Each structure stands twice: as C-alpha cells, then as structure tokens.
Amino acid sequence: MSKEKTTTSKVPQRGAMPGRGGGRGGGVYAGKAEDFKGTMAKLLVYIKPYRKLIILAAFLSIIGASLSVLDPYLLGKMVSSIEHSYKTGAGLAGLHEITIIKDFAVSLKGLAFILMGVFITVFLANYIQGYILIGVTQDLVYKMRADLAEKINKLPLSYFDSQPFGEVIGRLTNDVDTINMTLSQSFSEIFRSIFLVIIYITVMLILQPLLALVVFISLFISFLVTRTFVKLSQKYFIRQANAYGELNGHIEEAYNGQSIIKVFNYQKQAYQEFLTIDEDLKTSSHRSQFISGIMMPSQFFISNLTYIAVAVVGAIIVSKNPLLGIGIILTFLQFTRRINHPVRTISNIATILQATAAASERIFKLLDEKEERKEGADLIKLKEVKGYVEFQDVRFSYLKGQEVIKGLNAKITPGQTIAIVGPTGAGKTTLVNLLMRFYDVDSGAILIDGVNINKMKRSDVRDLFGMVLQDTWLFEGTIYENINYGSKERSREEVIEAAKYAQAHHFIRTLSGGYDFTLNENGTNISQGQRQLVTIARAMLANHPMLILDEATSSVDTRTEVLIQSGLENLMKGRTSFVIAHRLSTIRNADLIFVVDDGNIVEQGKHEELMAQKGFYEKLYNSQFENDENS
C-alpha cells in the first residue's frame, strides 16, 4: 500500500502518453561505473571464496598457452628438416630423425605423436579451465541473485515508493545477466589471452628477434585500429541499448494502455512516438553495426599485410642464414595468425570490465540501500488479540519537514468498525501504512491492546490484519491457489466456504475447471469485479483478528455490492475493522467515523452525529451527491 499523492494534470508529451506507467523494464543498461575501483573491489569480495578454483584455472591457462606454441614450432622444425633432407639429396627416405632442440631428436612418427599429445593436452587444459570458470561465474551470479532477493525483503516500503518499477526489475535481471555474460564468456578468454600473448612474444623473441619486431609492429597497428573502432562504436552501442529499452517500454505501455489510447484518440501521437524512438534505434544500430562490421575486414587486411611482411623479411633472413631453414617462416606465420585473436581480446578488456563494473555498481547500490530498522530481541508477541487500537500524538512525514500526520490522537475499542474518510491526500491511506508498520512513526505511538507496535515484530503486526485493497493483486495460478495465498494449511472445503461468504462461489463454478481455473498474469481473464471477489475470499479465509478494507467493493456492481456487504458484516463481526471509504454512502452504519483532513482527525462520531454538526463531514457527504446530480 503506497502513500497518497496529489496529482497534477499534464499535457501528454513524449514518454508521458495516457496510460503510461512509472517505470520501465526490459531496458539494457549501458555506460560506465562512477566508482570503477570501488565497484571492482566489491566484486572481488564476491569472487574471493572461489580464489582456489580461479588459481587452478589460471594454472591450466598457463599450461594451455605454453603448449599451444609448440605445434607451430614443431611444424616449422619438421619443414626445415624435410627441406634440409631434400637439399642433401636424401629426400624423405633420408629423414630418419628431426632435431627438436639441441641433442634431442625424434622420428617423423614420434613427432606426429608429440603433436597429437600437445593438441589433446591443450584441449583438456582449455576445457577444464573453461568448465571451472563457468562454474565459478554461475555460483557467483546465483549468490548475487539470492542476495538481491533477500535484500528486497528487508527494504522499507519507502524505497519502492521512490524507485521506478523498471529500475528495480532491471537490476535483478538485466544487470545480473550482464555480469553473467561478461564473466562467463570473457573471464576464461581474458586469462587465456594474456598468457598466450606473453608466451608468444617470449618465444618469438628467442627464435628470431627481427621477425618478432615485424609481428610486434603489425600488432601495435592492429591494437590501435581496434581501440579506435571500439571507442567509435561504443557510444552508438550505448544509444542502441537505451533505444531498445525505450522501445520495449513504449510497446509494453502502449499494449497495456490500448483502451486509454483509443479513448483519448491518442493513436497518431503514440505512433509518432514509436517512429521517433524507432528512428533513433535505426540510426544508432546502423552506425554501431557499420563500425563494428568494418573492424574485422580491417583486421584481416592488417593480418594479410603482416603475412606478406613476415614472408618477405623471413625469406631475406633465411637467404642470408640458410641454417635457419624455411620452417622458421612457417612458424612465424602461424604465430601471426594465432596472436591476433588474444590481442583483440586484450584490447577489449577495458570495455568488458567497464560493462561489468557499471552493472555491478547498480547492483551494489541496491545491496547497500538502508534496510528497515532492525528489530530488537526483547519483542512482544500478542497471544490473544482483543482489538484495542490507540493513536497517541502520532506524527509522521514521508519527506523530512513535510508532515503528513500531525499529532493524531484516537482510541478504538474491540469489535468497532472504523470508517476513515476525507479528501484525496488527507492521510487516510497513510494511517493504514503506519498501522501495518509499512512505515514507522516519527514520534508518538500506535498501541494494539496496550502494546506499542514498535515493540512487536513487523511480521507479527501484519499478521494481525486481513486486508482487501481497491487495487486487486492476483498472480498467475489457479483461483484456488490465489484464495489460499498465505493460508496454505487450509482445506479445500474451507476455501470454498470462504468463497461462498464472499459471494464468489457462484461465478467460480461457471468457469471451466471451477476452482482449478487458471488466472493469467494479474487475473485479466476475469472481470475487475470478479477479481475483487477473489481477494475478499482470500481475506475471509486468512481469518485475521483485525481487518482493513480499502474501498473493497469499489469495483463491483451495486447488486453484487449488496450481497458482499452481508459477507463482510459476517467477516467483521467481533473484529476491529478499518474501512477507507470514498463512497460515503457505504459507511453510514460504521460504529465510528474518522474524518481526516490535512493529516489529522478533524471530526469523529457516527454518521448521524457528524451530519448534525453541519461541519466538514456534512459538506463532504453532500458534495458527493451534488457531483452525482451534475454528472
């Protein structure tokens, strides 16, 4: 239940069409972290429990990277040995042994076995390393999701009142998925690429420094080209991601608000909004994909030039030093081909880490949010609830310095039906929010049976009240499951009995499957009035000692409302009940009416007494009928 707000009429603008909700889900967050170092330090705390597995994965990366340089080297040795054998006139028949290093030679068959062993070992090292790191990533993401879910349960209602719905959902879905993708897909690649580049550079410098210099120059040029393209494309990828999120939000809201759009003849404006967002998406997508698309051909062009340079320079070197053999050229050509990929990966590390840090920062901001005030150990639990409720000089403000409840005092005796009436923004719903401990009072106290609710567990306080709200909440599942929500130990017979009291049994029987009829999300495959009946049945089944009704019959027709009143009267019998009412005709029989205005109870009494006073309540009551006559 959220706080009441006064609304201001606005002309619909882009992003504010009729029916548009407060927050958007489905957007992809892109950008840079505000505190990169601090965020990565927090992420390392999550990774710390897996440090042994990560060290093992790093060790396997070193093994895989070290062995992966052997096959170009061995193939080069084999070609040089064959070349030497033919030069001496012996041909393949004279090729008995191939010298690998000084004083170590193997046969051609032995070399084949060595190469096979190298390939298998490299495959196993890379496979096991990838398996370990993917497992680490999935465990980390699982823990992160669990921590977020636990955190949400500890956050005060004020947090959700101040945050757009899509913003919170985005952190639990898109941001966690970003970390999952970047870590699972890039973690192992980063490890492997760094070790590969180090080992390739070392081996090339040992084998032939001049050829190594040729490769290094080409790699440096390739690195600069890649970084340039990444920087150019990144801003367009960010725009593309944001445009996707905005487009998804627009489509979702336009779909959900079709009836409102048609009522206000807003189709053309909505279509123009769509075209504007779609044009932005088209432009950013075209530019980002074009720049990314020409990056790979550019890399291939540089690689081909490098092959030519290695072949030419290598040929010159071999012609001047025939003992090297042409195998050295083959070895360097293999190195040139293989080193390009890890170099590109390393050049993208900054972008990958920024994306991970940006998503992590948003998650950690949620995890660092201030939680509901911790409850003490010496809390009181009411065993037998009578239903005395007292407000003692209660003061409360949503925003500091802007009091909503101003020194409220009231006493309610057990079994009374209390109606709370007043204009919009007067503080009616706020009273219920405080009573349920969705918010804590700034000063004063609320007592139940003489016990300050701040000295009780929040869950115990909330367990004292059954609630039926004006805005129905149903989940995807059967009608039986929705009525039985929060009352899992109740039998099917009790569920049916509660539905009968709520006048819901008749319409449920007419549905295919009856109580096993499956409601879709928000229960939109039954009418609004029927949804209200299901929530009333849910409250009846829960059978809490006290009751809160927030315009519980506002969405049903007059005939059904009369039928429900008898059921509600049975439900409220012997229970202290709070009824928030806008249609004042529905609360004429209340035991006590609180007239709330500007955060305080300005009048209280029975209907007849308040009408006789000719005060605020009488004006409020009569204005309702004046509006009905003018409508």
pLDDT tens for each residue of 584-607: 766 778 888 888 887 778 888 888
How many Å apart are CA 582 and CA 627, to the nearest integer?
A: 13
Phi, psi of 333 (to 5 degrees): -65, -40
How many angstroms separate the Cα of 226 from the Cα of each of 189, 216, 506?
17, 15, 69
Q: What is the pLDDT of residue 447?
A: 93
- What pLDDT was estimated at residue 340? 77
Predicted pLDDT of residue 21: 38
Asked if the model's pLDDT at residue 211 lies above 50, the reply is yes
- Residue 424 clears pLDDT 90, i.e. is over it: no
CA distance 168 to 469: 23
Residue 516 has pLDDT above 50, yes or no: yes
The ranges of the chain annotated as CATH 1.20.1560.10 are: 36-367
Burial of 452 from C-beta contacts in 10 A (0-12 / 13-18 / 19+): middle
Tens digits of per-residue pLDDT, 428-440?
778 888 888 888 8
User: What value does the mean pLDDT take over residues 35-44?
Assistant: 82
Q: What share of the chain is helix, strand, coil (3-state, %, to 5)?
A: 65, 10, 25
* Alpha-helix runs per DSSP H in 321-427: 327-347, 349-367
Give the DSSP H or E segment for 100.
strand 98-101
Q: Which residue has the higher pLDDT, 358 or 391?
A: 391
Contact 595, 601 (CB under 8 A): yes
- Rounded to whole angstroms, the Cα distance separating 555 from 575 reads 24
Q: What is the pLDDT of residue 4?
A: 40
- The pLDDT of residue 514: 92
- Show contacts of 154-158: CB within 8 Å, 24+ apart: 154/371, 154/372, 155/369, 155/371, 155/372, 156/370, 156/371, 156/372, 156/438, 156/439, 157/1, 157/2, 157/433, 157/438, 157/439, 158/398, 158/439
**Does residue 47 register a pLDDT over 80?**
yes
Residues paired with 394 in a beta bridge: 408
Query: Residue type at 300?
Result: F
Rounded mean pLDDT, 325-337: 80
Portion of the chain with pLDDT greater than 90, in percent: 5
Q: What was the pLDDT predicted at 33?
A: 63
Location of structure tokens 């032939």: 208
Q: Which CATH superfamily is domain 378-464+580-631 in?
A: P-loop containing nucleotide triphosphate hydrolases (3.40.50.300)
pLDDT at position 510 is: 92
- Report which of residues 157 and 476 the model is more confident about: 476
What are 525's two structure tokens?
């495959």
596: which 2 tokens? 């709330």
Scored b (16 or more CB within 10 A) or e, 46-65 reads bbeebeeebeebbebbbbbb
The torsion region of residue 449 among left (phi > 0), alpha (psi -120 to 50) and beta comes to left
Please state the rounded mean pLDDT for residues 266-274.
87
**233: closest CA among 159, 183, 274, 289?**
289
Predicted confidence (pLDDT) at residue 499 exceeds the cutoff of 80: yes
Q: Quick check: 488 pLDDT over 80? A: no
Q: Which CATH architecture best describes the domain 36-367?
A: Up-down Bundle (1.20)
- Between CA 353 and CA 579 the distance in angstroms is 54
Determine phi and psi for 29, rounding to 5 degrees: -80, 130
Residue, of 88 and 250, whose pLDDT is higher: 250
- Residue 67: which residues within 8 A CB-CB, separation 6 or more? 118, 121, 122, 125
- Give yes or no for residue 354 having a pLDDT over 70: yes
Alpha-carbon distance of 325 to 447, in angstroms, equals: 95
- Least confidently predicted of 112-116, 247-251, 543-547: 247-251
Query: Does residue 517 carry a pLDDT above 90?
Result: yes
Mean pLDDT check: name the lowest of 194-203, 413-422, 507-516, 559-568: 559-568
Number of Cα atoms under 13 Å in the Cβ half of residue 123: 6
The proportion of the chain whose per-residue pLDDT surpasses 70, expressed as a percent, equals 85
Q: Look at residue 457 and tell me whether its pLDDT is greater than 50.
A: yes
The predicted structure's pLDDT at residue 509: 92
Whether the full predicted model's pTM is greater than 0.85, yes or no, is no
Q: HSE, CB side, 13 Å, CA atoms: give it for residue 330.
A: 17
Q: What angle do CA 17, 241, 26 make, to 5 degrees?
A: 60
Q: Give the pLDDT mean for 347-364.
A: 78
- What SS3 state is found at 496? helix
The one-letter amino acid at 533: L
Q: Report phi then psi at 584, rounded to 5.
A: -65, -20
Task: Output the average pLDDT for the chain.
Answer: 79
Q: Where in the chain is the domain with CATH 3.40.50.300?
A: 378-464+580-631
Asked whether the predicted pLDDT for residue 210 surpasses 80, the reply is: yes
pLDDT exceeds cutoff 50 at 392:
yes
**Which residues lie closer than 8 Å to 168 by C-beta, 6 or more apart?**
23, 152, 160, 366
pLDDT at 427 over 70: yes
Kindly report the length of the chain: 631
Whether the pLDDT of residue 400 is over 70: the answer is yes
Which residues touch 333 (CB under 8 Å, ≥6 apart)? 307, 310, 311
- pLDDT confidence bin for 554, thresholds 50/70/90: low
Q: How far apart are CA 107 and CA 117, in angstroms?
A: 15
In Å, how far from its chain's centre is CA 276?
27
Q: What is the DSSP letter of 449?
A: T
Rounded distance between C-alpha atoms, residue 464 and residue 193, angstroms: 60
Q: How far is CA 39 from CA 134, 219, 405, 422, in A?
A: 21, 32, 40, 48
